[in-house]
Amino acid sequence: MSQDLKQIIKDKARQLGFILAGVTLPESPPHYSTFENWLAQGHHGTMNYLATDRARAHRADPKNILPECKSILVLATAYDSPLPSGEGLGVRGKVASYAHGDDYHNVLPARMEELVHFIEEQAGGPVKNRFYTDTGPILERDLAQRAGIGWIGKNTCLIHPKRGSYFFISEILLDLALEPDPAFTTDHCGTCTRCITACPTDCILPNRTLDATRCISYLTIELKDDIPVELREKIGGWVFGCDICQMVCPWNRFAAEGDPAFADDPSSSLRTPLVLTDELTLTPQAFNHRFKRTPVTRAKRRGYLRNVAVALGNTGDKNALPALENALNDDESLIREHAQWAIDKIKERERATHQDRTDP
């Protein structure tokens, strides 16, 4: 009965747009010690919510979240792979592919809730549950590997051999006994180190974790203060997130077509490289209108325009100077400081170029 019910639930999950589904048990994560060591080394940066006693206790044992939990359903939802648009040089910028459409935090919970209602109908009564998608204190990739969804790659992403890594992970903790799926135990990264070599900031660590304080996604989204000066040039044209370590992964040649909910929003055209000088003029109202349904709002206007200023500085294009100089009048000191850095960087390159031309 458990096996039959599990298959019925998986079929319904696919109807709701989840491309992969697997079941595991609420046991202590085998990689929890890795997580604790990662915290101890400060690789979580300013994400202090990860290090609270409550969050750590929940990650150490899913039953601390739902004591009645008997099984965990792990789900995957695809988003579009990035366009092969290079590094976005010139007065252009790039947003990570997952953020081009609706915010998954708003889309996936409704689907999981619908799936829970279906499970309760099949079970013949209420089923205690908790569900998350990058929102709860659990080790998602650890659970997904145990549920047979894929393996944790050297770039720390969960990779499926036929679907790549461009997908969101969600979990439903259930007071319902379902037969667990075999764990995904094979490592298909082999000797490949493309992601490690390609990372501009060298944030990928040897033990399949990363130093978040050097990761472009962290620097452009999670970090709310100044971007370290020594890392600014390495960010290139990225203004929200980063896809580099996934773009170079050979397994993403098998990436699934993305869910329509996360496709590009025609009103924002985020899949088209952004004209950064235009982005730098966004008022608070214009920013909220442009990005109100997307994950970009997580950076807030001050963080996003901070990133835009850095990306403009990295172009070395003197045509960006008027927009940057105008940004020196912004109400936000964070934006002003990074705009000044960008101006100095562009003028410094101009002086170096002029010197090269005049040298005999």
Buried b (16+ CB within 10 A) or exposed e, 73-112: bbbbbbbbbbeeeeebbbbbbbbbbbbbbbbbeebbeebb
d(CA 251, CA 256): 11
20-24 sheet: strands from edge to edge = 20-24, 71-78, 167-174, 129-132
- Triad 63, 69, 72: Cα angle to 5°: 100
CA 179 to chain centroid, in Å, comes to: 30
Q: 167 pairs with which residues across the strands? A: 78
Helices (H), the chain: 2-15, 32-40, 53-60, 104-123, 140-146, 194-198, 216-217, 229-232, 244-247, 276-279, 284-291, 300-315, 321-327, 333-358
d(CA 313, CA 306): 11
d(CA 182, CA 25): 11
Element containing residue 191 per DSSP (H, E): none
Nearest to 323 by CA among 291, 346, 289: 346
Catalytic site residue from 4, 11, 102, 134: 134
d(CA 94, CA 292): 18
d(CA 267, CA 249): 30
Classified as helix, coil or strand, 36 is: helix
Active site residue 359: no
Contacts of 15 (CB under 8 A, 6+ apart): none
Q: Is the dihedral of CA 13, 82, 100, 55 positive or negative?
A: positive
| Catalytic center residues | 134
